[in-house]
Amino acid sequence: MIPFDFDYYKPESMDEAFKCYQDLLINNKKPLYYGGGTEIISMARVKGIVFDSVIDLKGIPECSQLEVSGGKFRIGAAQTLTNIAECNAYPLLSKTIKRIADHTIQGKITIGGNLAGTIKYREAALPLMISDCSLQVMTQGGLAELPFSKAFNGKLQLKKGEFLVSVLIEENDLSLPYNHVKRTKQEKIDYPLITMVALKNEKAIKTAITGYGDNPIILSERIINHKLYNVEQKINKIINLAHSDCKGDLSGSREYKEFVLENMLQEMFSNFEKIG
């Protein structure tokens, strides 16, 4: 139970939601946008966050879309991980989000919440980081479409009052060969020691990891696809380059994480070599 009172709003359009937020600010309120609410509720129960109002985005049609149309896979920010996985339009994304929390919680966590949340892993971002992907964001000037790399740098880079509307992934990327590996300290369903995803197109392999440091990162595409390096050279160079990003924590020391990443990269290269 949340130990304080707050007002609840459920707008039916993007403009209404944005205006509601601005009006609340003008009236010295502390509003929050609300999708699945898992993190908001758990933090509010222990007063980790305090707010006067929540603006529920689930009533906005653009925040609830889930379809492949116009050459893009469109995912509304208020769509749950369960719905996205069951849709399975993008198998790499489906496999990644199936390993986030347990099945019950997956039915509540939204993709917008995972990208915007305070938990550093943000695993749902990994397939988007290595895809031809953009984000639709509601801004002061209206709906804007931004390249994923511009709107997300370890976490969502939004101005106060802006909110994520949807994720757009180019249809051509949805069926590419992929690799997904998640290593945890103990249980299958746990925060990652390291999670790594990779896509292979006709030109290159793209790879991203989380759990290695403070934020998800993309590994050097130049090194991974270098024609003059063998696999062992590539792995050594990648680990040396990412050394400053590696942070030891309760799940494993820096040395152990580097050892785990070395094995994950070896497995990835082997898998893609079999594909050709």
Q: Are residues 124 and 200 in the same domain?
A: no
What pLDDT, on the 0 to 100 scale, is given for residue 187?
A: 67
Domain of 51, CATH number, reads 3.30.43.10
DSSP-assigned letters across all residues of 167-194: EEEEGGGTTS-EEEEEEESS-SSS-EEE
- Which pLDDT tens digit goes with each residue over 118-131? 889 999 999 999 99
Same domain? For 222 and 151 the reply is: no
What's the whole-number mean pLDDT along residues 232-242?
Answer: 97
Looking at 123, 140, 169, which one is the last position of a domain?
169
* Over residues 218-224, mean pLDDT: 97
pLDDT at 1: 64
Please give the average per-residue pLDDT across 96-113, as a whole number: 89
Domain annotation covers residue 175: no
Average pLDDT, the chain: 92
Over residues 200-209, the mean pLDDT reads 95
In a domain, 1, yes or no: no
Instruction: Please check whether residue 149 lies inside any domain of the structure.
Output: yes
The verdict on 70 and 132 lying in the same domain is yes
Q: Are residues 54 and 13 in the same domain?
A: yes
Q: Of 85, 89, 53, which Cα lies nearest the Cα of 73?
A: 89
What domain range is 22 assigned to? 7-58
Across residues 239-268, what is the average pLDDT?
A: 94
Are residues 139 and 208 located together in one domain of the fold? Answer: no
Q: Which CATH number characterizes residue 212's domain?
A: 3.30.390.50
Read off the CATH number of the domain in which 123 is found: 3.30.465.10
State the pTM of this model: 0.92
- Residue 102 has a pLDDT of 80
Distance CA(34)–CA(11), nearest Å, equals 11
Contact 137, 99 (CB under 8 A): no
Q: Is the pLDDT of residue 105 over 90?
A: no
Q: Residue 158 falls within a domain, yes or no?
A: yes
Q: Among 169, 190, 217, which residue terminates a domain?
A: 169
C-alpha dist (Å) from residue 53 to 9, 20, 27, 110:
8, 10, 11, 19
Shared domain check, 250 and 199:
yes
Give the list of residues 6+ apart from residue 49 with CB closer than 8 angstroms, or none: 32, 40, 43
Amino acid type, 166: S
Q: Which two tokens stand for residue 168?
A: 């757009």
